[in-house]
A and B are shown apart, each in its own frame.
Chain A
Amino acid sequence: MSDNKENTPMVNTGEYFTSGNLAVAEGSLAAGCKFFGGYPITPSSEVAEHMSIKLPQTKGHFVQFEDEIASIASILGASWGGWKSMTATSGPGYSLMLENIGLGIMTETPCVIVNVQRGGPSTGLPTLVGQQDIQQARWGSHGDYEIIALSPNSVQECFDLAITAFNLAEEYRVPVTILMDETIGHMSEKLIIPEKEKIKIVNRKKPTNEADGHLPYKADEDLIPPMAVAGEGYNVITTGLTHDERGYPALDADAQKILLTRLLDKIRKNKDKIIKLEEYMLDDSEFVIVSFGISSRAAKGAVNLARKKGLKVGYLRLITVWPFPDEQINQIAEKVKAIFITEINSGQVTREVKRAVEGKTEVHGLLKLGGAIHTPAEIVEEIERRTK
């Protein structure tokens, strides 16, 4: 085996004034990413550009592929070679990647996909902000599945969540999407990269049994099978077909039920461990704004503004967008007069919140359709108008 397998992370400890796109790249390096396969697309290209500089310095590889389909396929391959791998794209590229994200789910392949969202549909607003791929990240590939998606709202969090994304991908053996947006990707603020020793890194668990008779898809109690990779003598096997514990195609309803139940449950049953939320002034609030990504920066400004006006508004931020925090939102719904959602789409998270509250409170989407972010003032105005 080559020394490239060491997965030595590249941690550029220090303080920087930099963009979200560069921070997510630095976070990925710090998490031990060694392979980037990508295709240029606005507004994500700076991630690829930065990785093309840095990866060769870590004995990793950067390859610009012919399209996004090749990019996602290549990072699945690299992951099965034992390297942590990633790609970065925006809406149109993400659409092209979805079939193979499904392959990643079915073959339980750890990898990270950054989607720096822009306005859509189609070519849409290439250089302007959007948050319109939230449901696509959840349901975009065909078939039933559970997925993990994270949404940073600062440059620092782009770095931090890149590490979290790799850790979750490795722990749960699932592709993890980082749902950024154009504003977060391009804005600059302070980034503190901690010392290497202070960064917690999770690596996929490896089989401990003999290669002979090894069952590559037999899960442990946590529903996650240990992962041998190519070159380790286990004769690893993957297929996008429904398969049994041996990894052999098993094309019947029983095998489908066994496999799919486990793939769904390994995320569902660990929701509490996966979901991260930020709460702000929730305790006494009568109204709550639920938000995520760049919209949450305006939402938090709105909370501060509303409080000055004597309105009891609090805030819940989805750091983890998927799996969705149904229980937490349901509990909040019992205590408040209304929940507002600020998002830059036609109501993709609003729909989830409505489902989660089960009619226990009013739910209003404060929506923008892409191209601009909310201002705190307009959010407060809207809350005042709707609660009169």
Chain B
Amino acid sequence: MSDRIEIRFAGFGGQGIALMGRLVGEVISLHEKGKQSVMTQSYGPESRGGASSCDVVIDTQVIDYPKSTEFDYFVVMSEEAYHKYVPLLKKGGIMFVEENLVTLDDQAKKASKIFKLPATAIAESLGSRLYANIAMLGFVCANTDLFSEEAFIQVMKAKVRARFIEKNLTAFEKGKNHK
């Protein structure tokens, strides 16, 4: 039996959406025993602005099809991305929302749970909105069984530039502790 889980991260360019997928993908692929992951991203010529999204597919078995078709988890950081992708949220799926950037409508009702985080505001309190993605991942980590905090921090320390690690750790912590 397949334990396939599909996650879509979406927002606008510059929010570090692809990095979210890469970090989560790596944590699961290299540090979560018995699990595999594939990360794909929709890739455009414009690297700033516009809609940005990426998928992480997780399974205990070999992952054949690498893209999401029906998300179990939808992590959404912009209004545009919400409207574009919410139709593909699985009934009973779980949403993580940047609450100041996304206004939910009736379509969100099919989610079994909706977690809301002011990720950008948290990031701005640390000096830059660039930390919003990591704050959101702290929030996801605290409210799901997708990946462990220890493994995530290990990967983040290896992938993020030394001078940004401190702030990112704080962002992760703040997201994690948000109620």
Contacts and interface: CB of A to CB of B under 8 A. Distances in A.
A212 interface: no
Contacts of A173: none
A85 interface: no
Nearest to B37: A189
Nearest to A378: B69
B13 to A, nearest CB: 13
A265 B69 CA distance: 46
Which residue among A17, A128, A182 has the maximum number of chain B CB atoms within 10 Å of its CB?
A17
A197 to B, nearest CB: 23
Contact of A17 (B26, B40, B43, B66): B26
B49 interface: no
Interface in A176-192: 182-183, 186-190
B21 to A, nearest CB: 8
B87 to A, nearest CB: 15
A221 to B, nearest CB: 42
Given A17-B26, A298-B64, A189 B69 contact: no
Contacts of B34: none
B69 A188 contact: no
Contacts of B43: 43, 127-128, 182, 186
Contacts of B30: 15-17, 190
Chain B, interface size category, equals 20 to 34
Given A297-B66, A300-B64, A304-B64, A189 B45 contact: no
A183 B26 CA distance: 18
A375 interface: yes
B65 interface: yes
A373 interface: yes
Contacts of A58: none
Contacts, number: 63
Interface string B34-66: 001111110111000000000000000001111
Given A15-B30, A17-B26, A187 B66 contact: yes
B29 A375 contact: no
Contacts of A190: 29-30, 36-37
A181 to B, nearest CB: 12
Contacts of B41: 186-187
A42 interface: yes
Nearest to A42: B45
A188 B65 contact: no
Interface string A350-377: 0000000000000000000000010111
A17 B25 contact: yes
A189 B25 contact: yes
A126 interface: yes
A376 B37 contact: no
Contact of A187 (B36, B39, B44, B69): B39
B67 interface: yes
A156 B17 CA distance: 24
Contacts of B37: 17, 189-190
A49 to B, nearest CB: 14
A42 B43 CA distance: 10
Interface in A26-63: 42-43
B22 interface: yes
Given A17-B25, A183-B40, A189 B63 contact: yes
A183 B43 CA distance: 9
Contacts of A240: none
B25 A188 contact: yes
B32 to A, nearest CB: 11
A43 B29 CA distance: 24
B40 A187 contact: yes
Contacts of A187: 38-41, 66
A130 B38 CA distance: 20
Interface in A88-138: 126-128
The 6 closest A-B pairs by CB, nearest first: A17-B26, A301-B65, A301-B64, A300-B64, A188-B39, A187-B40
27 contacts: A15-B30, A16-B30, A17-B25, A17-B26, A128-B43, A183-B66, A186-B40, A187-B38, A187-B39, A188-B38, A188-B40, A189-B36, A189-B38, A189-B66, A190-B36, A190-B37, A294-B66, A297-B65, A300-B64, A300-B65, A301-B64, A301-B65, A304-B64, A375-B65, A375-B67, A375-B69, A376-B64
Interface of B: 22, 25-26, 29-30, 36-41, 43-45, 63-67, 69
